[in-house]
Chains A and B, each alone.
Chain A
Amino acid sequence: MSPSTRNQVFIEMLETLSRDYLQGKEDVLRLSVIALLSGGHILIEDLPGLGKTTVALTLAAITGLSFGRVQCTSDLLPSDITGLSVFNRDEGQFSFQPGPIFNNIVLLDEINRAMPRTQSAMLEAMEERRVTVEGVTHHLPGPFMVFATQNPSDQSGTFPLPESQLDRFLICTDIGYPPRALERGIIAGGGIRERISDMTPLVTQDDIMTARRDVHSVYLSDKVLDYIHALIIATRSDELIQTGLSTRAGINLAQASRASAYLAGRDYVAPDDVRNTAVAVCAHRLVMRGGELSASERGIVLRTIIDRIPLPLV
């Protein structure tokens, strides 16, 4: 299969998911797959009960990837995530018991409830894709993706992620309430948790690894590159923004745009790809002037900046 047809698998997968399982969550699904295909992590910032966990579970089920879950609390220790060495009396030596992070898709629920020490351990693992426990380095499995969630409303007893940590998430998005008709249908039909275990994977681990390579070779023309760069520069000089986008943000935006183009069935990046992913990729990285703003408010600021920059059409 050529790169231009291989992406059909993922396009079909997305269609199946949003048609049969996760109605009304196309955007977050697409962004999750973008994160998966560009090797990044995703932070979902929304209220409980809107299907954050279901999205992660469904994605794991349909890709046939292993799934691990960490419910973060303030007493969560780094070893609770990474695993620890336990003395094996039979063998007479310590053996490493891998933690939940040794899965392909790891759900870090309510990540802002964990202590900073634990947060930083997790984030280090996310960045390095390996875990060092008692001097031994353990590599994390093939496709590795973190699904972190965060509850924006409940701020007591939480440790908000610092900006430097937020930068490590490729994408940050919300889910939002489903449309009225859909929500009624969901309530009527009950959750889909039960059906998840029955799902047959539509893509394999190999498909994902190949797709990641394909995404990497999606053509990014100078015009679009200029557009991305113009966007980053514009955030740095906006009066509402204290700290604009970093170079890493630019790299990530290009990656996500490539994946977006791949999912749109193209082997080149169009400015539309950049525009469609920019808020999800960039908004959470902005440090605003005049106190904290929620992710959606930052998204609005970024959207106005994006609208100011003309798309390169020629």
Chain B
Amino acid sequence: MLFNNKKASEKLLSIWWFFVLGVIGGGIVLGVFIYYSADTAVKSVEADILINNLINCVSHEGYFNDNVLNETFNFFNECNLNKRMFSIGSFYYFNVSIYDKDYLVYNKTGGDYSLEADCRVAMKIKNADKYPGCSEISYPLSYGNKTLRLVVLAGSNQIGGKVPIK
């Protein structure tokens, strides 16, 4: 009865008005879902923290620690890193290299090796959201009367996720 009066229904409760409401409502709902499904990306921050930890344990006040170049130097114990978290297939990767001019005198890696290639790509392109978050730092440090160059690359590909809580 309400919709039978064509003149009135054309003015107010027309199908187009419901279409407009649908578009407005749908737009707001879609916007809210997109906003709240956005991920808080902290992979690069994790990579920076890992680099800081590694640098702090291999150097002190501009000097290499005496035992760094020793083969028995254990990065996991010295840098308080959990070895289980750096196994193959893990989320993390690091590569510590020490150069004497252009000659590589020391190299130690840990974590998932496949992340290194992804890191090289991720550091070259912008908005590489699906790639690991990576950082690389290079600077000179004194070792005895020599100056060596420390290069540290670290990456994290951790996404996190929902878990059931007991």
- The answer to whether A and B interact is no
Please list the residues of chain B having a beta carbon within 8 angstroms of any beta carbon in chain A: none
A residues at B contact (CB < 8 Å): none
